[in-house]
Structure 1
Amino acid sequence: MTPLTPMTRLTPQQVFDDMRAQGDMVLDKLDECAAQMPDKVYLHYGEDNIRMRFSEVKAQTDRIAAALAAMGLPPGQPVSVLTRNSLVGTLAMYAIWRAGGVFAPVNFGFRGALLSYQLNDTAPFALITDSSFAAALSEIAAEIELRRLLVHRPGAGDHDFSAGPVPDFDPRFALSDFAALRGHSGPVPHVPRGPLDIANIVYTSGTTGPSKGVLQPFRWMNHYTYPLRATTTSADVLYCDLPLYHVGGAFALVARALWQGNTVGLWDRFSPTRFWERIEDCGASSCILLDVMIPWLMNAAPRPGDRANTLNKVHMQPLPVNHNEVARRFGIDFVSCGFGQTESGSGFACVIDELGDQTGTPAALWKGRSKAEYRASCQASGRLLVDGNQPLPKGFMGRANPVLEVAILDEDDNHVPPGAVGQLAFRPRFPGLLLQEYLRKPQVTVKAQRNCWFHTGDACRQIAEAPDTYAFVDRMGGLCRVRGENVSSFDVEALLARQPGVRAVAAVPIPAQVGDEDEIAVFIEVTSGATLDEAAVRRHAQASMPGFMQPRYIRLVDALPVTATNKIEKYKLKQQLLQELGSAAA
């Protein structure tokens, strides 16, 4: 891979020192923004056309933190957050940190067993939620220990207000009004926190067991956002429509903005039909596009004004093969790519100069560094900058983060040669860069960190032609990536196994028809004498799973193929279905 500019190779210590100098503690950055630019808009919440300045966000979250402290929140205890409302989620996140708690977001698609498992596993002091989850929480009230709910109730005129009847919460819950917390007048707590203290519990899907709560230190957020911050200045506006229960939405966009004082255009969910209208509304110059979002935007009929927008920097993950075509159509000057993970943060990075000296974003709409300044900043900081016209390998992730050691390992943790596929592993050169542990799962933690390497569970390779760069190949085991969500085959199988008539289940990832992610296929061995059909399985899936987890392909079989030790041979099932789908397509 030939860089566009000669590279200044900073040492790991230089990178780490610069990262620390920019600040490990996200709350310190909020305080700085509120003091230095109190009247600048931080949150442009497009759903309700609300604009909150840095000083307002600090003041409101301080009041919520004071209310949490008055309730008796012990330092270091988690507070869970379950809401689709991204403004409420953002305010809750900062307030929990300020009060000394641990932010524990919950996937708002969960219900039933998935929801009760996470809430019981986290064992939060309280749950911040909204009235739309009354039915889902009441359904599991008898199965969870949680009793304290802090409820956001939308008012008439709010985008999430429901004019119809709203179900009541189960009487076993003790309810407090979230709006009252926002107006609390008690003293703001001052809880000492350091870079290695736990900030978050973010759940990530497992392959052979239930989802795992990843304990992230405060420094983890600094490390994760550092490469992305290098691509922007305070003049940039960030756009976020990613859910805040994921690190991409909560930290790579919303929290990251505090290090430079960026405005964030905030929406609750992605909309392919309103995406460009929103970009114009908030004047965004930088955003993140994940997999299927890109073909959805490209599927719209081309328009003469496709390039007349403010976006000049877009992070694409995974990097699509047609990244240059996307950039040329929409006038995106720079595309970044890499590897991000809930446990290991930002492992790789690359910047792609898509248009060279051609005009992408119109000059009148440009924000941030000029093209020349941007290229110079890449050269000075050692970031890999490549030409968007040159072919890049499928799954290209770029160059490794200097603060991490990187290895591609075989099953015995031996290093494999360049070009060979193995499991990606990281070793931090400095403290606090990776997860501390998996919540309540010491054996899983030890296994993941065996031989002093953190094993990512992803199959990757070192590119032989450019040995300092790497490419993603596939997920190892039974992890599926569907519409930006990591889905555990274990969770899918466990939920389907609850259906009467199911003897055994195997879930496998199948390449999606659109994008570079997966679809879920399940093979079900039916109990002898039972009556079961595909329609019944789909009804059960719809009742017990969020949409992204529901299988696209369902096959009922007499028997699942197994090894001599009775392990299901999933590779045979996957191969069988791929052959079937290939024949059908032909």
Structure 2
Amino acid sequence: MTWTVMPSFDTHAQAREEFRWNLPEEFNPAVDFLRKHDDTSRTALRYEVPDGGLETYSFDDLDDASDRIAAALADLGVETGDRVGVVVPQKPQNPISHLANWKLGAVSVPLTVLFGRDALQYRLADSEAAAVVVDPSVRETIEEIREECPDLEHVIELGGAESVAGDAHAFDDLLAEYDPGIDVYDATSETPTAIMYTSGSTGPPKGVRHSHALWLGRAAAAYNYFDQGLEPGETTLWTPADWAWGAALGGTLFAAWHHGCTIVGWPRDGFDPEEAYDLMERHGVTKAFMPPTALRMLMSVDDPEERFDLDLETFASAGEPLTSEVVDWVDETFADIAINEFYGQTELNLVVGNSSSWFDTRPGSMGKPFPGYEVTVLDPETREELEAGEVGELAVKPDDRRVFFDEYWKLPEKTENKRTEDGWFLTGDLVERDDDGYCWFVSRTDDVILTSGYRVGPMEVEEAILHHPQTEQAGVVGVPDETRGEAIKAYVQPATDDYDPDALREEIRDLVRERLAEYEYPKHVAFVDELPTTTTGKIQRRSLRDGE
């Protein structure tokens, strides 16, 4: 049995004591999200078309469309276990493609349109994707890297035949050509569902392979950080975050559909706070997942409660620590809107957070463990458990192993190192836990940069910078930033003394945007004669940070 609505609990203590994972043996998320609701004719998605207009999709509409795309993929040769990339922003074709994959037993690879050529090439090649569904905005990049992705046989581009060039298949034509009624793959909670990529500090991005239980874990967490208020047919959710990211895809979009709620899709190149308020008013959004950077931008609008007729009940936020300034602003600006920070990882689901229906938010705190998880703080060296008030590495243990990741794709040693002999999964985050059970983020144990809600591995940025012929060496670190939380700063050792600093600085920024992603470009670029290195020649990023 799966949950249509999670069981509600009056107190956090009661939830921690009584909640039990109820993962079904037979489970396909496409069926769970679309077919189990009492009224499948209800609106599941309200999509604001970028050039104007509104499209609405019921659960039935999405079921029909994903059936058709699943039939098309099967006809193209996509089989059970094959990987299929999805590089689509907040458009209906994004979830339709994922649902089609699962109906076939294929594995989704969610990717953002913000990625540049290197980022897309690495992930599609590493996942051995057999097919990819792409937005027209990234089609040229896909063609550029096609030969570097030997397993990639099919590209499906959004639009009709009149706008799709080359050998790509037109998404709209496939919808029209194939019929619904596909036999849905007989899946379980342990059937592979997705490979999501996370950046690291000491190597290339790691593919994190999950099973279908992932979506139930995210839906349970969302029910908690949205204050047990995901009512079927009554709640409308929205997030400005890209649907390629775990908290947006699983913790907002698919969590909404698991609970029978409506999601708003609104693809935009940037975030305008005035437009965001207007959108939430227009659609009667009641629950919003807002990364801290978006919340700080919302703060720039004067008197939002007086100017906009909002139905908002809860802001949920994650990706970087919320400052007390943001929490206080919500409390002082809005009469009846709660703000709940939560914490999770690509590998380990959403495991710690605040829920104002259970306990008071303490500004700056990550919150307390969600039901279904145990947490502890370990000494980074000895792995011994620490007392309250001591700083150590946050470690998590699920009551049901299936809600966590299965493996790092093709990296068995790293998979093994993620967990201690006692079964604790390591997060790489240093925290302090107080006497009341609240967790407080201190820092990363590695060099990962938390900027605007994104986790950026410095090595990828350094390698992109070194593609410029005028650079000899580069070291990348995070520095404090009022809006982003952290900004990316690159220390660059030029290859020669003959260069224009201003011109080279802009060329480096443009190069990183092109090869990686818009959010990975270095806001600050400093030129140095020499970079600090270890005896083996590795960049000492700690020395760069200490010099700030």
Q: TM-score, normalised by structure 2?
A: 0.88
Whether contact under 8 Å (1:306, 1:331) holds in the other structure is: no
Matched, 1:189 2:183: yes
Partner of 1:40: 42
Q: Any residues of structure 2 matched to 1:129-168 within 5 Å, and which? A: 129-145=134-150, 146-153=152-159
Q: 1:493: Cα distance to partner?
A: 0.9
Partner of 2:541: 570
Cα separation, 1, equivalents of 2:276 and 2:415:
40
Q: Secondary structure at the match of 1:261?
A: coil
Partner of 1:445: 415
Q: Any residues of structure 2 matched to 1:177-326 within 5 Å, and which? A: 177-183=170-176, 184-185=178-179, 187-230=181-224, 231-232=228-229, 233-234=231-232, 235-269=234-268, 270-302=271-303, 305-306=306-307, 308-317=309-318, 318-322=321-325, 323-326=327-330
Percent identical pairs in the alignment equals 21
Cα separation, 2, equivalents of 1:67 and 1:304:
47
Go from structure 1 to structure 2 and tell me whether the alpha carbon gap of 1:287 and 1:526 turns closer, same or farther (over 3 Å shift): same
Go from structure 1 to structure 2 and tell me whether the alpha carbon gap of 1:572 and 1:276 turns closer, same or farther (over 3 Å shift): same
Cα separation, 2, equivalents of 1:109 and 1:303:
30
Cα separation, 2, equivalents of 1:21 and 1:155:
41
Partner of 1:479: 448
Partner of 1:584: none
Matched, 1:343 2:342: no
Q: 1:407: Cα distance to partner?
A: 2.3
CA RMSD of aligned residues (A): 2.6
Partner of 1:55: 60
| Superposed CA offset, 1:160-183 (max 9, x none) | xxxxxx8x75x5xx3211112222
Partner of 1:15: 19
Cα separation, 1, equivalents of 2:502 and 2:380:
37
Go from structure 1 to structure 2 and tell me whether the alpha carbon gap of 1:327 and 1:97 turns closer, same or farther (over 3 Å shift): farther
Q: Secondary structure at the match of 1:254?
A: helix
Go from structure 1 to structure 2 and tell me whether the alpha carbon gap of 1:141 and 1:6 turns closer, same or farther (over 3 Å shift): closer
Residue 107 of structure 1, aligned match among 104, 112, 124: 112
Whether contact under 8 Å (1:526, 1:532) holds in the other structure is: no
Q: Which runs of 5+ in 2 are unaligned?
A: 1-9
Q: 1:271: Cα distance to partner?
A: 3.3
Residue 511 of structure 1, aligned match among 475, 480, 485: 480
Matched, 1:399 2:400: no
Cα separation, 2, equivalents of 1:122 and 1:22:
27
Whether contact under 8 Å (1:314, 1:332) holds in the other structure is: no
| Superposed CA offset, 1:474-529 (max 9, x none) | 222211122222111010111112222323211111111225x2100111223366
Partner of 2:126: 121
Residue 423 of structure 1, aligned match among 393, 396, 419: 393
Q: 1:225: Cα distance to partner?
A: 2.1
Go from structure 1 to structure 2 and tell me whether the alpha carbon gap of 1:186 and 1:260 turns closer, same or farther (over 3 Å shift): closer
Go from structure 1 to structure 2 and tell me whether the alpha carbon gap of 1:23 and 1:475 turns closer, same or farther (over 3 Å shift): farther
Q: Secondary structure at the match of 1:292?
A: helix
Q: Secondary structure at the match of 1:185?
A: coil
Q: 1:274: Cα distance to partner?
A: 0.8
Q: 1:282: Cα distance to partner?
A: 1.4
Whether contact under 8 Å (1:501, 1:527) holds in the other structure is: yes
Amino acid at match of 1:20: L
Whether contact under 8 Å (1:307, 1:329) holds in the other structure is: no
Whether contact under 8 Å (1:225, 1:346) holds in the other structure is: no
Cα separation, 2, equivalents of 1:493 and 1:103:
29
Whether contact under 8 Å (1:459, 1:473) holds in the other structure is: yes
Q: Which runs of 5+ in 1 are unaligned?
A: 157-165, 353-374, 376-383, 578-586
Of residues 217-226 and 398-407 in structure 1, the stretch that sits farther from structure 2 once superposed is: 398-407
| Superposed CA offset, 1:359-393 (max 9, x none) | xxxxxxxxxxxxxxxx5xxxxxxxx321x5xxx25
| Superposed CA offset, 1:146-194 (max 9, x none) | 23101112799xxxxxxxxx8x75x5xx321111222212650321111
Cα separation, 2, equivalents of 1:385 and 1:532:
56
Q: 1:304: Cα distance to partner?
A: 6.5
Residue 168 of structure 2, aligned match among 150, 165, 175: 175
Go from structure 1 to structure 2 and tell me whether the alpha carbon gap of 1:566 and 1:131 turns closer, same or farther (over 3 Å shift): closer
Amino acid at match of 2:339: V
Of residues 196-205 and 106-115 in structure 1, the stretch that sits farther from structure 2 once superposed is: 106-115
Go from structure 1 to structure 2 and tell me whether the alpha carbon gap of 1:6 and 1:67 turns closer, same or farther (over 3 Å shift): closer
Q: Secondary structure at the match of 2:14?
A: coil
Cα separation, 2, equivalents of 1:6 and 1:410:
31
Q: Secondary structure at the match of 2:332?
A: helix
Partner of 1:560: 531
Partner of 1:521: 489
Go from structure 1 to structure 2 and tell me whether the alpha carbon gap of 1:321 and 1:393 turns closer, same or farther (over 3 Å shift): closer
Q: 1:307: Cα distance to partner?
A: 6.4
Partner of 1:355: none
What number of residue pairs does the alignment pair up? 520
Go from structure 1 to structure 2 and tell me whether the alpha carbon gap of 1:176 and 1:565 turns closer, same or farther (over 3 Å shift): closer
| Superposed CA offset, 1:520-540 (max 9, x none) | 011122336664735324313
Go from structure 1 to structure 2 and tell me whether the alpha carbon gap of 1:571 and 1:11 turns closer, same or farther (over 3 Å shift): closer
Q: 1:449: Cα distance to partner?
A: 2.4
Q: Secondary structure at the match of 1:347?
A: strand
Q: TM-score, normalised by structure 1?
A: 0.83
Q: 1:128: Cα distance to partner?
A: 0.4
Of residues 221-230 and 43-52 in structure 1, the stretch that sits farther from structure 2 once superposed is: 221-230
Partner of 1:381: none
Cα separation, 2, equivalents of 1:7 and 1:498:
51
Cα separation, 1, equivalents of 2:431 and 2:285:
33
Whether contact under 8 Å (2:493, 2:527) holds in the other structure is: yes
Cα separation, 1, equivalents of 2:465 and 2:26:
46
Partner of 2:359: 385
Q: 1:427: Cα distance to partner?
A: 2.2
Cα separation, 2, equivalents of 1:196 and 1:556:
50
Q: Secondary structure at the match of 1:305?
A: helix
| Superposed CA offset, 1:119-151 (max 9, x none) | 101111201013222321222233222231011
Partner of 1:414: 384
